[in-house]
């Protein structure tokens, strides 16, 4: 299987519910396991549900450093940007993941970090789940791309394919999702960095059919009646 080749600052953007946070967490875990120093910042100021912070105890146990707002504001329906985030961007480690909020609204906060980003090179990757509304067509994905870029005042330079129906994802969804992001990559000229496959169905996937790197997703953001996959 091809290794995911990413280092430095990686900004994860995409539409609401595209899977940015699940991808960010699992990318962090994947890289940490291969010995890379990883930091992750939760920049989702828009939506207080299902954010990176949900997985914080598991992540800190395996030694991933997280930047979060102060504890007392964790549940606030308010946009709180910790000054720590600018610090992370100015002094990145081997891999610094910035998990931005959804849509253009969520990406707006990136523009306010322009000073910190000045002179830095970074990846800005758009997570795409073609099984979500508004990103089921190449046109829809490109519209989202341009809205996010306008709001963030930054340029997207790669794609992450995250085709899934959570627990009901079939191998066919993975293959057709892969074909979709390949097409998106051709039409947009953006690099396809990797696609994701849930650990639940990973063993059913013929990896030789996929020529880009694959990130195995060990699901962390689960409803309270389900258990998150244990990270070791």
Give 71 or 77: the residue with its C-beta nearer to other proteins: 77
Segment 134 to 163, residues that bind other proteins, using CB under 8 A:
134, 136
Q: How many residues does the chain have?
A: 232
Q: Distance of CA 13 to CAs 41, 63, 107, 195, Å?
A: 13, 24, 7, 15
Site for other proteins contains 132 (CB under 8 A)? yes
Site for other proteins contains 16 (CB under 8 A)? yes
DSSP H or E run through 141: helix 138-152
Site track 79-118 with other proteins (rule: CB under 8 A), x = hit: ----------------------------------------
Least Cβ distance, residue 232 to other proteins (angstroms): 22
CB 89 within 8 A of CB 96: yes
* Interface segment toward other proteins; rule CB under 8 A; list 6-14, 56-64, 90-98, 124-132: 124-132
- 3-state SS string over 9-24? EEEEEECCCCCHHHHH
- Count CB neighbours of 139 within 10 A: 10
Site for other proteins contains 230 (CB under 8 A)? no
Give 96 or 108: the residue with its C-beta nearer to other proteins: 108
* Interface segment toward other proteins; rule CB under 8 A; list 2-10, 47-55, 64-72, 192-200: 47-55
* Interface segment toward other proteins; rule CB under 8 A; list 1-9, 58-66, 82-90, 165-173: 165-173
* Interface segment toward other proteins; rule CB under 8 A; list 52-60, 83-91, 164-172, 190-198: 164-172
Cα separation of 127 and 143, whole Å? 13
CB 4 within 8 A of CB 196: no
Q: Are strands 8-14 and 38-43 parallel, antiparallel or unpaired?
A: unpaired
Cα separation of 169 and 205, whole Å? 12
Segment 62 to 81, residues that bind other proteins, using CB under 8 A:
75, 77
- Binding interface with other proteins (CB under 8 A): 16-17, 47-50, 75, 77, 129, 131-134, 136, 164-168, 223-226
């Amino acid at each position: 299987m091809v290794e995911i080749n990413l280092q430095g600052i990686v900004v994860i953007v995409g539409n609401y519910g595209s899977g940015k946070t699940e991808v960010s967490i699992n990318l962090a875990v994947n890289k940490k396991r291969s010995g890379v120093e990883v930091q992750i910042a939760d920049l989702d100021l828009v939506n207080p549900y299902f954010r990176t912070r949900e997985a914080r105890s598991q992540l800190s146990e395996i030694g991933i450093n997280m930047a979060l707002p102060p504890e007392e504001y964790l549940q606030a329906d308010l946009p709180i940007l910790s000054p720590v985030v600018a610090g992370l961007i100015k002094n990145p480690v081997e891999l610094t993941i910035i998990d931005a909020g959804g849509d253009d609204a969520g990406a707006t906060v990136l523009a306010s970090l322009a000073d910190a980003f000045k002179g830095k090179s970074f990846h800005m990757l758009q997570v795409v789940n073609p099984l979500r509304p508004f990103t089921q067509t190449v046109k829809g994905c490109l519209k989202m791309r341009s809205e996010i870029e306008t709001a963030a005042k930054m340029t997207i330079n790669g794609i992450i394919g995250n085709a899934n129906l959570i627990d009901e994802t079939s191998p066919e969804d993975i293959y057709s999702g892969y074909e979709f992001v390949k097409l998106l990559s051709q039409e947009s000229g953006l690099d396809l960095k990797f696609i994701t496959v849930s650990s639940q169905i990973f063993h059913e996937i013929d990896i030789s059919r996929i020529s880009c790197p694959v990130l195995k997703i060990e699901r962390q953001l689960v409803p309270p009646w389900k258990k998150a996959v244990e990270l070791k």
